[in-house]
A and B are shown apart, each in its own frame.
Chain A
């Protein structure tokens, strides 16, 4: 099966800083994939590479099985909603739809209008007068209008209030459920992604920390709680992502199969947010080359 995005040893440098460094990953098609990481982790850079807006300094990114040299083929098939959902403020909503129709070979005018009608966004309104949530919805309608095979969204809900956030993600989930479209959306909030995604990629410090189906990720990680260990010590036979010590006990987030529980230790339920935080809190300690992790998962 063709991957939605396949990155091999991709690096992107801006001046002296590496936004992404030696990143390899294979994201399956037909899923709603969440890209989570703190600000500055390289999420935007990765999405720009996938959308064909930027080129990697090193390595290669393949999108829907094609390299970015086949730009036009990809532009037709990839929808992109950039950070802060830019639109032309002087345009009316109808003009934004006409913009999408004029610049794309494939265009679903009826679908776009129905989507905005259902949200109560009048076509005659000026984009500059819309609320943040409505603007994001118009940007989504324009991106969906070309019926993309893959939709990329860069922090689409970061600036929205909780209600608009919920509405937007709901609309996105409904659109994704329809026709096997691949979706990649980034956020620095796990809660947003958990609501719509079935696959998660954790990115920190310009490197992928972990990726996989959310339930598989949860199944492959464990939280062990036991007696207080000295700093630097760990329970035997486990691969530690993050350690945390209080006065009386130690907690270890560990990765991989756990055939037996070390004596004196107990397993506690692991929430997705905690797992992500474990990776983000100690990117160096937790980082393993992504392919190795994927082998462990499959």
Chain B
């Protein structure tokens, strides 16, 4: 089974390894350029050296991969590696060859999945760690906590989730290309829904009431221990809401209330969301096992 899986997927494995290697090398290159320029300003792109390597690094930073890349890459891995795992067999009819050898479908599926999942999860976690290292190099003052979705645990959990989605869609649809599309769409929808509607519920946000309005224009310095800040609400002296939009209204503001999540909760939130995604992934994989062993003929 191990040899068969390798023989079937060795070119995909090679491509994935090359791509991951390239991305990691680029990240390391940008980081080393930033280190060489000894940047300390808040905007890490401004102080790269004005020589060729510096300009190349500047160009890479300009692609903005580091903000969005790690949020998107797991979805791509799920679509391009997960979706064809079963779907390609079914669309070529080779599942009837594989499933009539002396190996149960459960074993066939499990071995294939584990062999694909382990290197993928390791690569995802490594990419997350490298990203955090890059942020640290970029600027000591940058708000690292803003990069919640790019941390190693969540990147790995999201990759597992995307892989499960891809495998399950591939089994149910039985054709690679539609399964890839379904994987990408459902991955994006679930991750946005989690981040926007479920994440705030892990622990209720704390409220901070600011009475000194003269110093209120710079929330990050006002709340050094927050990793997530809501838009502030402004009130007059009678306790009526003047504005919810974040902008300080003209007129007599008496106080402002701002909800926030303290920095010490960062890893709790990170763990909860990672566990949630991993649990979803396992449930979906259970469904995929059922579909592969029972529903395909």
Contacts and interface: CB of A to CB of B under 8 A. Distances in A.
A103 B93 contact: no
B105 to A, nearest CB: 8
Interface in B97-134: 97-104
Nearest to A139: B97
Interface stretch (A23-31, A80-88, A112-120): A80-88
Interface stretch (B3-11, B32-40, B64-72, B175-183): B3-11
Contacts of A80: 96-97, 100
Contacts of B92: 86, 89
A175 interface: no
Contacts of A198: none
Given A53-B297, A84-B93, A86-B93, A91 B7 contact: yes
A98 B2 CA distance: 12
Nearest to B102: A104
Interface residues of A, number: 34
Given A53-B297, A55-B294, A95-B7, A86 B101 contact: no
Contact of B102 (A84, A90, A103): A103
B143 interface: no
Interface stretch (A34-42, A69-77, A233-241, A271-279): A69-77
Contacts of B11: 90
B206 interface: no
A53 B104 CA distance: 11
Interface in A7-66: 48, 51-55
Nearest to B293: A71
A242 interface: no
B231 interface: no
Interface in A88-131: 88-91, 95, 98-100, 102-106
A293 B63 CA distance: 76
A158 B84 CA distance: 29
Contacts of B207: none
A75 B297 contact: no
A142 B11 CA distance: 24
Contact of B4 (A75, A89, A102): A102
B94 interface: yes
B102 A53 contact: no
A88 B297 contact: no
A104 B100 contact: no
A146 interface: yes
B94 A71 contact: no
Nearest to A80: B100
Interface string A229-249: 000000000000000000000
B1 interface: yes
Contacts of B1: 102-103
B1 to A, nearest CB: 7
A48 B296 CA distance: 11
Interface in B37-93: 92-93
Nearest to A75: B102
A79 interface: yes
A84 B104 CA distance: 23
Contact of B94 (A54, A86, A100, A102): A86
Contact of A102 (B3, B96, B297): B3
A204 interface: no
Contacts of B98: 103
Contacts of B96: 48, 51, 53, 80, 82, 86
A146 B94 contact: no
B102 A52 contact: no
B104 A72 contact: yes
A51 B7 contact: no
A86 B97 contact: yes
B94 A88 contact: yes
Tell which of A53, A55, A89 has the most Cβ of chain B within 10 Å: A53
Given A80-B96, A86-B94, A91-B7, A104 B101 contact: yes
Contacts of A100: 101
Q: Which of A82, A89, A104 has most B Cβ within 10 Å?
A: A82
B296 to A, nearest CB: 8
Contact of A103 (B8, B103, B294): B103
Contacts of A89: 92
Contacts of A87: 94, 97
Contacts of B7: 91, 95, 98-99
Interface in B260-297: 294, 297
13 contacts: A53-B99, A72-B104, A75-B100, A75-B102, A80-B97, A80-B100, A82-B96, A88-B8, A88-B94, A88-B97, A89-B92, A105-B102, A146-B101
Given A79-B100, A103-B98, 9 more contacts: A51-B96, A55-B294, A72-B104, A75-B104, A80-B97, A83-B93, A90-B11, A99-B4, A99-B101
Q: Which 7 A-B pairs have the closest CB atoms?
A: A54-B297, A103-B101, A82-B96, A80-B100, A86-B93, A104-B102, A53-B297
Interface of B: 1, 3-4, 7-8, 11, 92-94, 96-104, 294, 297
